[in-house]
Amino acid sequence: MNTSVKFFISGLLIIMFSCTSVEKADLVILNGKVVTIDKDNPRAEAIAVTGENIVAVGSTREIMKRVEEGTTRVIDAGGRLVLPGFNDAHAHFGPVNPDYIELRYITDPSVITAKVAEQVARSKPGELIRGGHWEHEMFDTHAWPSKELVDEVSPDNPVVLSRADGHSVLVNSYVISSSGITAATPDPFGGEIQKDPVTGEPTGIFKESAMRLLKYGAVKVERTAEEEAEREWTGYLLAFQNARELGITSIQLPGSGDWKMYQELDDKGELTTRIDIGAVLSGDAGRLAGYNDLKTRYPAGGNWIRFGYLKGFIDGTLGSGTALMFEPFDDEPDKSGLPQMTFEELEERVIAADAAGFQVGIH
């Protein structure tokens, strides 16, 4: 090959490569400390995103080539850390209730009294007062709360305050009376009505299946169906906003979820967190058939909504003192947990679910 031909081919290749364009991005993040979770290339400066996909990771100089003036959104990280989204592997996710009393991290039980009093003042007589996330181990006394903590400030309203694990609740005397529960009411299988060791009267703490005995006796809040729907929709939008602000981009919902609502959110472009929804473990053939329909509609490889596993309960939690243990608890030597079903029942359900092709998780 003569020299002139070589120069011609070389020049042609230079022109071709210089004219090669890279895909323009919808979003780029530049000048960051990007964690890639790639062991061969664990760090980068910038990323490019098109649609829902990360299309490139590299230096700021490289990613700048994907910027189209007036179209690409550019975020300058300013040297800050850029992480992949967090996955919450176990979240009981749902709409934010603006009237819910948040009791997380409280160490002084009197704060609960004050917060309930504030909510009662904003409510009509008979309206349900809900709240939760308290943990008695964090109280100065480390003692379980009792109905006396809220009775005085809520004589005309039902009060239900869930423990952080959701396996116990504190209720006031209004709820106990509405439920017809007395000192003579026996514990149901898998549950406990905590009672005063001296008087035998219910203390206001109900654990596990005993919570199903409660009848709140609440009056219905006067809202139209449209107002209720709007309230729920706004609550879901707030929940997803909270997730985004915490960097959570995917969630596993064990046991249940509102499929129709999540589908509507997805249809309207408001579903900003990927959802993997579980269902309750069952050995019923009809129910399993319904689950199979959901699994077909929302397959494991789906992008935004997926059908997860079937969740069964064999016991409770450590915090509520209801987790099944081989030995008694140190602080309650007469107790070692509460079974939620017999081993035979659990075995029957697991075998049926497995035979139907479902993944199973046991609490």
One domain for residues 242 and 350: yes
One domain for residues 287 and 261: yes
One domain for residues 68 and 174: no
Q: What is the pLDDT of residue 308?
A: 84
One domain for residues 58 and 108: no
Whether the CB-CB separation of 275 and 253 falls below 8 Å is answered with yes
User: In this structure, is residue 7 part of a structural domain?
Assistant: no
What number of other Cβ atoms are within 10 A of residue 353's Cβ?
22
Instruction: Tell me which DSSP letter residue 145 carries.
Output: P
User: In this structure, is residue 15 part of a structural domain?
Assistant: no
Q: What is the dihedral sign for C-alpha 248, 252, 257, 263?
A: positive
One domain for residues 239 and 348: yes
User: In this structure, is residue 53 part of a structural domain?
Assistant: yes
DSSP calls for 146-203: -THHHHTT-TTS-EEEEETTSSEEEE-HHHHHHTT--TTPPPPTTEEEEE-TTT--EE
Last residue of a domain, one of 213, 238, 268: 213
What CATH number has the domain bearing residue 29? 2.30.40.10
First-to-last alpha carbon distance for the chain, in angstroms, is 75
User: In this structure, is residue 220 part of a structural domain?
Assistant: no
User: In this structure, is residue 91 part of a structural domain?
Assistant: no
Q: What is the pLDDT of residue 14?
A: 43
One domain for residues 249 and 352: yes
**Strand-strand pairing, 101-102 and 53-58:** unpaired
What CATH number has the domain bearing residue 182? 3.10.310.70
One domain for residues 280 and 355: yes
- Residue 45: which pLDDT band, with cuts at 50, 70 and 90? very high
**Strand-strand pairing, 129-134 and 305-312:** unpaired
User: In this structure, is residue 202 part of a structural domain?
Assistant: yes
One domain for residues 233 and 358: yes
One domain for residues 52 and 173: no
One domain for residues 298 and 268: yes
Secondary structure element (H or E) that encloses residue 117, with its range: helix 110-121
Residue ranges making up the domain that contains 268? 225-362
Q: Which of 342, 338, 326 is nearest to 165 (CA)?
A: 338
Secondary structure element (H or E) that encloses residue 120, with its range: helix 110-121
One domain for residues 279 and 319: yes
One domain for residues 356 and 330: yes
Query: Whole-structure pTM over 0.85, yes or no?
Result: no
User: In this structure, is residue 219 part of a structural domain?
Assistant: no
DSSP calls for 204-240: EEEEEGGGGG----PPPP---HHHHHHHHHHHHHHHH
Within 246-363, residue ranges assigned H as helices are: 259-267, 285-297, 343-355
Whether the CB-CB separation of 235 and 96 falls below 8 Å is answered with yes
pLDDT tens figures, 107-147 = 999 999 999 999 999 999 999 999 999 999 999 999 999 99
pLDDT tens figures, 64-112 = 999 999 999 999 999 999 999 999 999 989 999 999 999 999 999 999 9
What's the domain count of the chain? 3
Whether the CB-CB separation of 248 and 88 falls below 8 Å is answered with yes
